[in-house]
Chains A and B, each alone.
Chain A
């Protein structure tokens, strides 16, 4: 600290920022210096409590902070300069907003007297980031800075978590003012997220669950965000009620994939049993999920015969896409605790033997099956082997976006919350590699694997350099099919097999690329080589690019075509050209 006055709370704006980070328990921040944040970097240089991870592009800082937040339950912090530094943060901020990830971004701004003058590296940061943050602030007076920083952390972490941004002009960083530690009055009194669910509705929920004939629990990322207790309570509720459970992409790990009541993921590439159970159920308990279009498919044919209960901390998530019968506004963990308490005291396990028999028939369709191949590595097989060979290890998985992401969700069984980091809502290619860096920073001794595609991973490949610099032994497991697989799949299904620009022309040699960065490159061509190569990857204590050469034209099934209902799934063995053409007719305009 460069505090020179007698009052220890008198300090510069830059010093306040570092002090506030320390007061909020922040140990790591991800950032990139520039003209408008130099005073803050000067403060960072002169202390050792907060470790700064230098990235190679601000987007990398944002996703790394997201991975850090998602894997720890703590806020992720990013520090960027004005202008391009801030605009490069727009993607991670939007990503975090869609997936409810607590992110605190501090951005430098040109000095206040230059704001509006089109100064060098000036942009309207709060204007640009207003729609992609939960809230943002421009601090014009150093004496407001402490209050705003504390409020920023509070807003990011409470209610439905999300990204916030504090824009600090350079003159405010230099100015001296009064700092104060966090206190309650720092927060807008208009901001009062509701945590406790309505008791009458909770009682009603218990009665509905107890008398259900065909119930299903549909859980989402909200359960993970609510903290480890919520996942425990969810598991207990499943056990006490005996109800089958499915989850969204974001909610994987809240209930273990090895659990007896697990149906697999639901939605566009979910399992047949999960989607059929959603379609045919009579009572649906939605916990911390938001009826996204990837889940519902055709909305007017979505689970037509069910009464729906929806638990969500964000009132605007309720009745947005699907009308529900019992809306419970509150924190998932809190509400699940209340439901459990009432259920245990007043209700008995519903008699759903017939329902489970029905589900067993759906399961018997084996919707995730694929043809084995001894000559080429199938991507599904690669994930299955990766899962088997990391079983029992302290493993965290991140993904990029595309076919590999769906295969990872289908074939890598996530057992615990906070272990699965993926870009769900925004679908950001390039998320996984920097997110893995963030996870590894928080969990130095764990095995952190980014399941990647050859196209996605090149969007943020430069962060390999970050991993090497900070000695973060992340493992980038690339399912290399030399295509933007999901784009190609849609072109095949919907655009007459005209593969417009979805071929990964001029791919780099990933092994040499890894070596160029100072990491380790591993390649596997044949199924017989795969296990050995994966074991080698796990044992290497350096960043690894694993070039897993997989079948080029494999597609991701099962699939609900856009605009179709849950019971109109296309299963792998049914996906003949003719059936596919028919299933996708008319859906071209949808995404």
Chain B
């Protein structure tokens, strides 16, 4: 690894990585998601989480929320690269604005009986997870919150008979009266 530094070893810089949540407002047209994802894979950026859905159907606008990790220089690059795409209206770094609320929804299936079943229900109650399906030997919980809360809930369910998890990825919005 004793290579001299050059443009090809940008990652060798010892800037610490940061995790940022980006909200991207795009024209909802064919291929727009492929463009965004292609940018990340083509340039070697990370995607920790990605959610997308049409938010204003009359204007054909979709909102993509991307959680990504990189050095500050890479994060800035990602924002510029996204912003210069033709169908992209706006890119807002929710982490920089500092006022953002982030939520994720997960559905968690747990199978078991006896004490485990009781404990799972009790914890779900503590986490304000709802039971959306139940059989005599299983529950499906629906839980909403920030990612760390969901991670914590899933960790707690693991010894109690965790079967599987389906998560939506992060959606984010700023606090206060202003839109993005």
Contact = CB atoms under 8 A, between A and B. Distances in A.
A299 B73 contact: no
A318 interface: yes
B180 interface: no
B5 A300 contact: yes
A319 B4 contact: no
A298 B86 CA distance: 33
Interface stretch (B77-85, B122-130, B155-163): B77-85
Given A188-B86, A315-B83, A589 B3 contact: yes
Nearest to A295: B7
Interface string B75-115: 01100110111111100000000000000000000000000
A322 to B, nearest CB: 9
A53 to B, nearest CB: 29
B38 A131 contact: yes
B6 A319 contact: no
Given A299-B7, A316-B80, A127 B34 contact: yes
A130 B39 CA distance: 10
Nearest to A155: B86
Interface string B4-15: 111110100000
B77 A320 contact: yes
Interface in B23-42: 26-27, 30-31, 34-35, 38, 42
B10 A321 contact: yes
Interface string B124-168: 000000000000000000000000000000000000000000000
B68 to A, nearest CB: 15
A190 B31 contact: no
A586 B80 contact: no
B6 A293 contact: yes
B90 to A, nearest CB: 8
Nearest to B3: A589
A316 B81 contact: yes
Nearest to A316: B80
Contacts of A321: 7, 10
A293 B8 contact: yes
B2 interface: yes
A579 interface: no
A316 B84 contact: yes
A135 B2 CA distance: 40
A300 B2 CA distance: 15
Given A138-B31, A563-B5, 8 more contacts: A134-B86, A138-B30, A188-B86, A190-B88, A299-B5, A319-B76, A587-B4, A590-B8
24 contacts: A127-B34, A130-B31, A130-B34, A131-B38, A135-B86, A138-B30, A138-B31, A155-B86, A159-B84, A188-B27, A188-B87, A293-B8, A298-B4, A299-B10, A314-B80, A315-B80, A315-B84, A318-B80, A319-B73, A562-B6, A563-B3, A563-B4, A590-B8, A591-B8
Which 10 A-B pairs have CB atoms at the shortest separation, nearest pair first? A293-B7, A563-B4, A316-B80, A190-B89, A563-B6, A135-B86, A315-B80, A300-B5, A316-B81, A191-B86
Interface of B: 2-8, 10, 26-27, 30-31, 34-35, 38, 42, 73, 76-77, 80-81, 83-89
